Amino acid sequence: MSEPLLEIRDLKMHFPIKQGVFQRTTNYVKAVNGVNFTLNKGETLGIVGESGCGKSTLARTIVGLLKPTSGDILFEGESILQYNSKELHQLRRDVQMVYQDPYTSLNPRMRAGDIIAAPLKAYNQSNNLRKRVLELMELVGLKADDYKKLPHQFSGGQRQRIGIARALALNPKLIILDEPVSALDVSVQAQVINLLEDLQEELGLTYLFIAHDLSVIRHISDRVGVMYLGKMMEMSDSESLYKNARHPYTNALLSAIPLPYPMKEKKRERIVLKGELPSPSNPPSGCVFHTRCPFATEFCKGNVPTLDEGNDAGHFVSCFYPIENKQEEFARQ
């Protein structure tokens, strides 16, 4: 087992809802509500969930853009919440982020080369600046004459490459990728995923990969965490999660994805979840998933399940009635 790079301990991020003339806090949006996980060096952890499950808030909290309500974030064994501004400045060199929307995350008035050079300047590494930038551009598959171009002259995929080059500029240890391919076309998406995989191999990077697309997550991740309403529902290595999903929510998510196989697709038994995502400001009591869960009982309404390791080592699930053995179930069918 390699050593942990990032540890998240019971992390909570609640946003106050203010109402009335005096802007009194009437309630909280519990965007992230008690999340635990460890990210080891060199691995890719995928976080997957529907919109509003708190996956982006989680990312923003880890890079220090938001101050969590409670819990702890340990980076290389040190709590980053205790850091002063100087230490935070150093931390941001080691933890970089790539954003979802390549159209708004680049300054439209800056040239591609200057965008990639910006982090280097911020950390006083201006020696051989142009050489380093050109190196980075080559690394992500941009041409040298792209240096002087403005963001609008690039396509979506190329812009995402600029964003990746910018994140790589300071040799970070951890890169947080928040839906890096969801705004891209299928053929371009494959290019960016392949690039990310190559870079990881070449530079030994650690990725926290956030996406709503389960197929992309499976492709790129070593381990996967499934989030729902600010909580981690299931977490395991990706092999085990996709073959033996134990949480009813994961199972429903997997069955909701249309496969590009018409024959299989038409035969497949689909679990269609009833209803919609409840509001995170007023999450259901007990297990947050009980309102949509096909197996929920009275017990689930009153008691909160914890993320426990089952018989499978390393396969954590937060459910009172996890699906025990899917293979057996298949055999019966």
Partner 1 sequence: MLEVKNLKAHIDTPDGVVKAVDGVSFIIKPGETVGIVGESGSGKSVLAHSIMQLNPKPPTFYPQGEILFEGRNLLQLQEKELRKIRGNDIAMIFQDPMSSLNPVFKVGEQLMEAILTHHHMPKSKAKQRAIELLKDVGIPDPEKRMNAYPHQFSGGMRQRVLIAIALACNPKILIADEPTTALDVTIQAQILELMKNIQEKYGMAIIIISHDLGVIAQMAEKVLVMYSGRIVEKGNVEDIFFHTSMPYTWSLLRSLPRIDSESRERLLNIEGQPPNLIHPPSGCNFHPRCPFATEQCKLIDPELTKRSSNHFVACLLSEVEFKEAKRLMENVEQEGDLKHV
User: Where do contacts with partner 1 occur on this chain (CB under 8 A)?
Assistant: 50-51, 155, 157, 185-191, 193-194, 197, 212-216, 218-220, 242, 252-263, 265-266, 270, 272-273, 276-277
Pairing verdict, β 70-75 and 231-237: unpaired
50: number of Cβ within 10 Å: 16
CB of 224 to partner 1, least distance (A): 11
CB of 312 to partner 1, least distance (A): 18
CB of 145 to partner 1, least distance (A): 16
Residue 301, both tokens: 């309404």
Q: Residue 146, SS3?
A: helix
Alpha-helical segments (H) within 183-222 = 186-203, 214-220
Nearer to partner 1 by Cβ, of 120 and 196: the residue is: 196
Nearer to partner 1 by Cβ, of 127 and 187: the residue is: 187
Are 177 and 210 spatial neighbours (Cβ–Cβ below 8 Å)? yes
Nearer to partner 1 by Cβ, of 74 and 188: the residue is: 188
CB of 215 to partner 1, least distance (A): 4
Nearer to partner 1 by Cβ, of 101 and 197: the residue is: 197
Q: Which stretches of 1-75 are assigned E, i.e. beta strand?
A: 4-19, 24-40, 44-48, 70-75
Nearer to partner 1 by Cβ, of 44 and 96: the residue is: 44
Torsion angles phi and psi, residue 64, rounded to 5: 85, 15
CB of 156 to partner 1, least distance (A): 9
Nearer to partner 1 by Cβ, of 157 and 286: the residue is: 157
Q: Residue 262, SS3?
A: helix
Cα–Cα distance, 220 to 22 (Å, whole number): 48
CB of 80 to partner 1, least distance (A): 31
Cα–Cα distance, 77 to 5 (Å, whole number): 7
